[in-house]
Amino acid sequence: MSAAIVDDDPIVCSSIGTILTATGTATVLWTAHDGASAVREYGAHPPDVLLIDVQMPGMDGLDAAERILQGHPGARILILTTFADPDYIRRAVQLHTKGYLIKQDVASVIPAVQAVMAGQVVLGAEVLGQIAAGGDGRDARQETRIVEDERFTRLTGRERDVAALVAEGYDNRQIAAELHLSEGTVRNRISDILAKANIANRTKLAVEWLSCH
């Protein structure tokens, strides 16, 4: 498996690259330090997973992600940044990136990359906290009366249980253990939920579920 890392700090690129290589998680195909370079390099040498920061000189990471996804809709892009900004998170979700992590603990990159390669979408705990709190650290449910989206009224009780755990950041294995199901059943339930609710992926499912519960 190959990865590429884009960050304006060469030390960050080096640290993440060393961890990915040393653990056998991925081979680092290339690194870049701004969004424009990332777009060029991706076009020439597309990796299996692209890890990209948001705030960089010139073209930022989200603009670069948008450009890359326009040309490569199947690109697996993982946002890795120090900013749990609700506007950044919202845009990353709208772009259908494969995840958004806060880079407080570089070691968390390994399971995140593995999850993305397994077809999952990754949201860090801080990111889910921002979504649940409306982005300002307060419980939005204490301030706004939430009416459940009609799409979720079509779900069975078990599907609602699965959706709630997806929104809490559980992966398929953890959901299976929590609900005493097989991982295959969990995958099928999530597919059914996405189809019934007409939601594109589990990241958007988490956002939509948290916004109305």
- Encoded amino acid at 16, one letter: I
CB 159 within 8 A of CB 192: yes
Place of tokens 């450009």: 67
Beta bridge partners of 102: 81
Cα 39 to Cα 195: distance, rounded to the nearest angstrom: 32
For residue 213, name the pLDDT band (cuts at 50, 70, 90). Answer: low
> Which pTM value belongs to this model?
0.62
Helices (H), ranges, 95-198: 109-117, 125-132, 157-167, 172-179, 183-197
pLDDT in tens, 139-198: 333 322 333 456 777 788 889 899 989 888 889 999 999 999 999 999 999 999 999 888
Calculate the alpha carbon distances from 209 to 128, 135, 206 in Å. Answer: 11, 15, 5
Cα 116 to Cα 76: distance, rounded to the nearest angstrom: 7
Query: According to the model, what pLDDT value does residue 191 have?
Result: 93
Q: How far is CA 148 from the centre of its chain?
A: 24
CB 52 within 8 A of CB 100: no
Query: According to the model, what pLDDT value does residue 144 have?
Result: 26
Average pLDDT of every residue of the chain: 83
